[in-house]
Structure 1
Amino acid sequence: MLKSKEKLLFLSEIFLGLAALVLLHTLHKTIHGIFEYIIFFIPYLILGREVFKNAALDFIKGKFMRESFLMSIATIGAIILHNLPEALAVLIFYRVGDYFEDMAVDKSKRTIAALMAIRPDYANIIRENGNVEKADISEVHINDNIIINPFEKVPLDSIIYEGESCIDTKALTGESMPKNVKVNDEILAGTINGDNTIKAKVIRNYGESSVSKILKLVQDSQNRKANIEQFISRFAGIYTPIVVLAAILLTVIPTIMYGKEVFSNWFERSLTLLVVSCPCAFMVGIPLTYFASIGRASKLGIMVKGGVFLDLLAKADKVIFDKTGTLTKGEFSIREIYNIGLYDDETLLKYAAYAEKGSSHPIAVSIVKYYKGIINDSLISSHKDISGKGASAVIENKNILIGGINLLKDNNINIPNYKENINVHIAVDSQYAGGFLIDDTLKDDAKEAVSLLNSMNIKTALISGDNTNRVEAFAKEMNIQSFKGGCLPEDKVSVLEEMMKDSKASIFVGDGINDAPSLAHSDIGIAMGGLGSDAAIENADVVIMDDKPSKAALVIKLAKKNHIVVLQNILLALIIKFAAIILGALGFASMGLAIFADTGVTVIVVLNALRLIYPLGEKDDIIDIDTENCSIKVTDCGCGH
């Protein structure tokens, strides 16, 4: 943030300049010669020192088609024409505009600087002798025990083994509400502990942690410039020299044609043209718009890997979801118990839980977890897993067979009419007894995600490996317009291609390693970054760090707003600059209008860009992020800023 001393110095210099300007205007008939130039040159040199210094450096480097050089020439020309008040006014208004531009850019930089601040600096390692030692995070390894004191950053992704607390995840996920954590809960690096001490075991090195991935994504995002940004860079490289040449010809041609008596008039018009010609409004305002959007997205826990993807997101008219782990939590649970009357629900559940005990299959685990009773191993006479199909067991001298419908058919079990949505069936002593509807738990905001997209007139679709009947029921429940079930991992890309045919730009949202090809193949891939696989995150263009599918709609909204602001800034800058160029060439524009067409418009487009940070986020020519030193600097924009 701009320091108080800098503000005071700025105000003092502007006051001095304005006082001199008033004196020059009011006393121009009574003061002449050396006194007039003393009143003028003291504030002129103070206000223009940075401008002249930058102009000299640019000239030495051979890069003089920049604002400092153009502004210097314009003021020197005004002095030659003895328009001292005008020369001083150019510098005053230039400094005012430059100051407010710096303030605006500073706000945007602080957004990303805050993100950089989530990088942990140290960890408190618990040594074997029980002593606690502060160490750099690079020196901490997997399975090391650490202690996190109240209000400290969590240094590395860890599992709590002692203590309870609440964790502030806002910087990492954008979630405003603290998260309560207890023993066996995972906590992520970069989040902030609450007011209780907790002990945890490290599960990932820093380079593999969530916070490390975020910082890398933000840094890498600057390497992908949007097409509009690339066009503006090329445009400015051609535009400025052409206008400078036009300014020279604007003086030379009339002077040759009509004689030296018209030189003064056309020379003044040329100076106005030089001030107008600087492309700062484009070179600063447009990349800053994208940077502001990426910064805002980061604050919301959404990592966009470059401005080019914001442009694609703005065009998107279809979102295709994976189901498990994307719209659902990937946590299976019994949703319905179905029996034909041979046993009550509790007995049926007991036989199922005993038969599935020891299996690592998610469905088997969900049945055992749902059963609240204590499993007595002595009641199990035999047990056999049937790979990919189910299990068989002898429990209390009863033969239990549990699994899919085909498993029971293969074992010649007579199956009466059953409900189609039941996906796990059970037979006792070769008699069909009933079954269970076991399904994944819906994420809290999954319906909200689809509802938001539908309200934005964006089509929705679903691709899943689940059986077609279940996928159809799920799609209807979620109000998703089209779907395809029973997809093997190798089928997903071909199904995706078919779904993408009727859209301008399609988004695929997924999380697992089997989604990586689809994420890479879609126009825009959005990965769930909290529980998603590394392969999915690597192949995605956008990463949602807290696994909330509703943020897919949010980032599309942000991208559309970004597109509108970019177009506003381009049109505003072009219209005002070209109008000022034409008026200046015809002699109808003063130096004041020229200053507004340059610095004033730059400030307007920068402030307009910052609307993207408030209220809702590529290595480019404007902003360079140094993640190691947590700093951001404004670099070469092609205009000397």
Structure 2
Amino acid sequence: MEHDHHHAAPDIPAGANTAKDPVCGMTVAVKPDGRHAEFQGETFHFCSEKCQSKFKADPWFYASGRAAGQKKAAPANVQYTCPMHPEIVRDAPGSCPICGMALEPMVPSDEPSEELTDFTRRMWISAAAAVPLIILTMGELVALSVRDWIGHQTASYLEFVLATPIILWAALPFFRRGWDSIVNRSPNMWTLISIGVAAAYLYSLVATFLPGVFPEQYRMGHGVGTYFEAAVVIVALVLVGQVLELRARERTGDAIRALLDLAPKTARRILPDGTEYDAPLENIMEGDRLRVRPGDAIPVDGTVIEGRSSLDESMLTGESMPVEKGPGDEVTGATINKNGSLVMEAGKVGSDTVLAQIVAMVSNARRSRAPIQGLADRVSAIFVPTVVVIAIVAFVVWLIFGPEPALVFAIASAVSVLIIACPCALGLATPISITTAAGRGAQAGVLIKDAEALERMAGVDTLIVDKTGTLTMGKPKLTDTVALGDVTETDLLSLAAALERGSEHPLAEAIVEGAEAQGAPRQEATDFDAVTGKGVQGRVGGRAVALGNAAMMREMGLDTAQAESKADTLRAEGKTAMFVALDGALVGIVAVADPIKESTAQAIRELHAQGLRVIMATGDNERTAQAVAGKLGIDEVRAGILPEAKKDLIDQLRRDGHKIAMAGDGVNDAPALAAADVGIAMGTGADVAMESAGITLLGGDLMGIVRARKLARATLRNIKQNLFFAFAYNALGV
């Protein structure tokens, strides 16, 4: 196991008794007064207090050797990225080589931002220095002639004392970023601020200590004017802006922190001898048996092995209705156990859990780059050099044509141009909107994998939807039982279920579950035989029973004409109708269908209201597809098409100039999801589908598409507003 903390290896005297630290594996000298702990009659020795604390939190885990013998999902090393240039990724904190902005962790931690803490401190100290500086220089405007009381030279020295720590310490991050921008030939806001503040401070420094270098005409009443207060006020105001932006960026990580907080900090491990204790979540491994008490959150993804309970899975699906769970059922970490006690086996732990994947997706969206970001970058790239040129022109014009003292006015004008043009808002207009949208989307069950998907979603005009698992539940259900002759519906269902218990056909499970749900008597079948492509037959209670399609009935010599009209009606509704025969006579029909999700019809109506064209593309037959489309009011149907044909359909529509979103849930939808402008995967579907899509709907609910499109359009509108106002303000200021 890796030694995950840093300290020097202890010096062990020759011949001394040694022991192995069970936490980190280091060899340590056994000392009577050394760090040690007792567990199950054995004494363990430790190299540091940190290892001792870890052991005491979970002694069985370390004493049993599991820590060294198995690899648990350790947290990934923290990486840092630039909020304005997400392609910049570093292993350590620092400044962005493009814009100079401080890099931030990719996944927010529970700890407060060090940069925010540091900049807040710098802001308050700068503000504290700015107040007396303003009083010293402008006090006479409010009848506080401090400069007259203490004398001009003393006032200048006092200004120097107040301003110097602010310029050399509080403004230091700005100068570093400004220098980086010059070295990297990427002029940006820090270039402007650095030049402006440095110009004001250096001019004032010369004016204070070497006033004689200025010609007589540059002197005012008591000497050469200084601009210490301008430099400090600029630094203080920029720091205020930085603190506000850092707080905004901190808030955009709140959704991720809230997701991280859903997981419990400990899990109740059951040992082989039956004893139980609370172990740190990071020590839980695949195969561990865990108890989940009523009211507790499920610690990791896994399978129920004992007990029954209802779970609140709203974190995963957005649905408030509890879901019943029993032995064999899969459970998801961070969902809430409502009433019963469960024993589960840990399946996926650490970064493999559903919750960890959700966090990773939201985190990726936070730092991904929308195409519209290019507009902000292009504007900044032109704007900054232009401003520098304008500042130089202003300096030259004031120096040549300005009133005396021209140099003072020239420098002041150039500094004013450089500072007012600061493009902070311009550069952050897009990232803040994107990160906020990603966080809000996650809370609404819409996971945005990358910002490009969000930006493209706003322009989508056509939605292609898969049928099974997207429009429908994806699992067949028994819908109709039609008795013909003397057999009751309950008896008919009992016979059908008895035969289907031996079948592996997908529809068989629907009939068996339907019979159990309706309380049909359970019977067993013998002499079971599956007739491929036609049906099943056998004996139930000593009587010959068959269940299958019309072709099977005809082979048995049965006339299905009397039942065909009813079967056709069922088929027209998108259902699969199967005939049941008893002792050579037709006795009924059972029908199975994949039911439409409750919210699908409303979602289609709202998408139509937003002006979207909706096309169903399915591998199912034309009749079933048309039946579903008819119920939902879908515009077009492409039935019986293979995965490649779905992709070809998307390619053709894109060539025709349409912006396409594709919604699907299966492996067969993956090529189409990747080909579309925006791929939308059902969170209830296959992993491959989710990997191929830019947006995932956690609950598999099509209303999520409505929410995603509204969110995308609002976000794009907000980005354009931000860019306009940021650019307009800077341009107007210049």
**Cα distance 1:455–1:502, how it changes in 2: closer, same or farther (>3 A)?**
farther
The alpha carbon displacement at 1:20 in A equals 4.0
Counterpart code for 2:559: N
- Structure 1 residue 288 corresponds to structure 2 residue 432: yes
Provide, for residues 489-530 of structure 1, a one-character-per-residue CA deviation record: whole Å limited to 9, x for no partner.
45433455566666631111111222222212222111112x
After superposing the two structures, state which structure 1 stretch, 310-319 or 448-457, moved more. 448-457
Unpaired runs of 5+ residues, structure 2, are 1-111, 208-224
The alpha carbon displacement at 1:427 in A equals 4.4
> For 2:122 and 2:339, how far apart are their aligned partners in 1?
43
**Cα distance 1:415–1:197, how it changes in 2: closer, same or farther (>3 A)?**
closer
After superposing the two structures, state which structure 1 stretch, 11-20 or 244-253, moved more. 11-20
The one of 304, 315, 322 equivalent to 1:179 is: 322
> For 2:179 and 2:585, how far apart are their aligned partners in 1?
94
Q: Identify the residue that residue 389 of structure 1 maps to in structure 2.
A: 534
After superposing the two structures, state which structure 1 stretch, 264-273 or 155-164, moved more. 155-164
Q: Identify the residue that residue 76 of structure 1 maps to in structure 2.
A: 201
Q: Identify the residue that residue 254 of structure 2 maps to in structure 1.
A: 110
The alpha carbon displacement at 1:361 in A equals 2.0
- Structure 1 residue 562 corresponds to structure 2 residue 715: yes
**Cα distance 1:59–1:480, how it changes in 2: closer, same or farther (>3 A)?**
closer
The one of 543, 546, 564 equivalent to 1:401 is: 546
Counterpart code for 2:466: D
> For 1:197 and 1:396, how far apart are their aligned partners in 2?
40
SS in 2 for 1:200: strand
Q: Identify the residue that residue 60 of structure 2 maps to in structure 1.
A: none
Counterpart code for 1:252: V
Counterpart code for 1:532: G
Q: Identify the residue that residue 445 of structure 1 maps to in structure 2.
A: 599
Provide, for residues 378-419 of structure 1, a one-character-per-residue CA deviation record: whole Å limited to 9, x for no partner.
xx3421112343212233454433223444455554321323
Q: Identify the residue that residue 24 of structure 1 maps to in structure 2.
A: 137
The alpha carbon displacement at 1:323 in A equals 1.8
SS in 1 for 2:148: coil
| Cα contact 2:129–2:232 (8 A) shared by 1 | no
| Cα contact 1:315–1:504 (8 A) shared by 2 | no
**Cα distance 1:137–1:4, how it changes in 2: closer, same or farther (>3 A)?**
closer
TM-score between the two structures when normalised by the length of structure 2? 0.70
> For 2:699 and 2:457, how far apart are their aligned partners in 1?
20
> For 1:199 and 1:521, how far apart are their aligned partners in 2?
43
> For 2:236 and 2:348, how far apart are their aligned partners in 1?
55
**Cα distance 1:456–1:577, how it changes in 2: closer, same or farther (>3 A)?**
same
- Structure 1 residue 348 corresponds to structure 2 residue 492: yes
> For 2:653 and 2:643, how far apart are their aligned partners in 1?
16
Q: Identify the residue that residue 618 of structure 2 maps to in structure 1.
A: 464
Q: Identify the residue that residue 215 of structure 1 maps to in structure 2.
A: 359
Q: Identify the residue that residue 455 of structure 1 maps to in structure 2.
A: 609
> For 2:231 and 2:378, how far apart are their aligned partners in 1?
31
Provide, for residues 595-632 of structure 1, a one-character-per-residue CA deviation record: whole Å limited to 9, x for no partner.
xxxxxxxxxxxxxxxxxxxxxxxxxxxxxxxxxxxxxx
Q: Identify the residue that residue 415 of structure 1 maps to in structure 2.
A: 560
**Cα distance 1:55–1:510, how it changes in 2: closer, same or farther (>3 A)?**
closer
Identity of aligned residues (%): 23
**Cα distance 1:206–1:433, how it changes in 2: closer, same or farther (>3 A)?**
farther
SS in 2 for 1:392: strand
**Cα distance 1:4–1:96, how it changes in 2: closer, same or farther (>3 A)?**
closer
After superposing the two structures, state which structure 1 stretch, 565-574 or 396-405, moved more. 396-405
| Cα contact 1:159–1:200 (8 A) shared by 2 | yes
The one of 537, 546, 564 equivalent to 2:690 is: 537
Q: Identify the residue that residue 611 of structure 1 maps to in structure 2.
A: none
**Cα distance 1:477–1:498, how it changes in 2: closer, same or farther (>3 A)?**
farther
Provide, for residues 149-187 of structure 1, a one-character-per-residue CA deviation record: whole Å limited to 9, x for no partner.
465542221233444556454555555x47354424432
| Cα contact 2:267–2:280 (8 A) shared by 1 | yes
> For 1:357 and 1:262, how far apart are their aligned partners in 2?
98
- Structure 1 residue 132 corresponds to structure 2 residue 282: no
**Cα distance 1:147–1:293, how it changes in 2: closer, same or farther (>3 A)?**
same
SS in 2 for 1:359: coil
| Cα contact 1:40–1:88 (8 A) shared by 2 | no
> For 1:441 and 1:153, how far apart are their aligned partners in 2?
31
The one of 655, 663, 673 equivalent to 1:509 is: 663
SS in 2 for 1:330: coil
The alpha carbon displacement at 1:309 in A equals 0.7
**Cα distance 1:245–1:499, how it changes in 2: closer, same or farther (>3 A)?**
closer
- Structure 1 residue 526 corresponds to structure 2 residue 680: yes
The one of 298, 303, 321 equivalent to 1:154 is: 298
| Cα contact 1:51–1:71 (8 A) shared by 2 | no
| Cα contact 2:197–2:415 (8 A) shared by 1 | no
- Which aligned pairs between 1:108-507 and structure 2 lie closer than 5 A? 108-118=252-262, 122-132=266-276, 134-135=278-279, 140-149=284-293, 152-163=296-307, 167=311, 169=313, 171-173=315-317, 177=320, 179=322, 181-184=324-327, 185-193=329-337, 197-222=341-366, 224-252=368-396, 255=399, 262-341=406-485, 343-371=487-515, 372-377=519-524, 380-396=525-541, 398-409=543-554, 413-416=558-561, 417-419=564-566, 420=568, 421-422=570-571, 423-428=576-581, 429-497=583-651, 504-507=658-661
- Structure 1 residue 35 corresponds to structure 2 residue 180: no
> For 1:436 and 1:334, how far apart are their aligned partners in 2?
8
SS in 1 for 2:476: strand
SS in 2 for 1:239: helix
Counterpart code for 2:520: G
**Cα distance 1:431–1:447, how it changes in 2: closer, same or farther (>3 A)?**
same
Q: Identify the residue that residue 29 of structure 2 maps to in structure 1.
A: none
After superposing the two structures, state which structure 1 stretch, 51-60 or 269-278, moved more. 51-60
Q: Identify the residue that residue 218 of structure 2 maps to in structure 1.
A: none
SS in 2 for 1:576: helix
| Cα contact 1:150–1:194 (8 A) shared by 2 | yes
- Which aligned pairs between 1:553-632 and structure 2 lie closer than 5 A? 553-581=706-734
Counterpart code for 2:715: N
> For 2:483 and 2:336, how far apart are their aligned partners in 1?
49
| Cα contact 2:129–2:163 (8 A) shared by 1 | no
SS in 1 for 2:509: helix
Counterpart code for 1:401: A
SS in 2 for 1:201: strand
Unpaired runs of 5+ residues, structure 1, are 582-641
> For 1:24 and 1:309, how far apart are their aligned partners in 2?
53
**Cα distance 1:473–1:338, how it changes in 2: closer, same or farther (>3 A)?**
same
Q: Identify the residue that residue 75 of structure 2 maps to in structure 1.
A: none
Counterpart code for 1:453: L
RMSD of aligned alpha carbons: 3.4
Provide, for residues 292-321 of structure 1, a one-character-per-residue CA deviation record: whole Å limited to 9, x for no partner.
111211222322111111111111122222
> For 1:292 and 1:231, how far apart are their aligned partners in 2?
19
After superposing the two structures, state which structure 1 stretch, 406-415 or 546-555, moved more. 406-415
The alpha carbon displacement at 1:554 in A equals 0.6
| Cα contact 2:301–2:333 (8 A) shared by 1 | yes
**Cα distance 1:260–1:507, how it changes in 2: closer, same or farther (>3 A)?**
same
| Cα contact 2:395–2:414 (8 A) shared by 1 | yes
| Cα contact 2:600–2:701 (8 A) shared by 1 | yes
Provide, for residues 558-610 of structure 1, a one-character-per-residue CA deviation record: whole Å limited to 9, x for no partner.
011000000001111111211221xxxxxxxxxxxxxxxxxxxxxxxxxxxxx
Counterpart code for 2:322: K
The alpha carbon displacement at 1:451 in A equals 2.5
Provide, for residues 315-357 of structure 1, a one-character-per-residue CA deviation record: whole Å limited to 9, x for no partner.
1122222122222222322222234446332333233222222
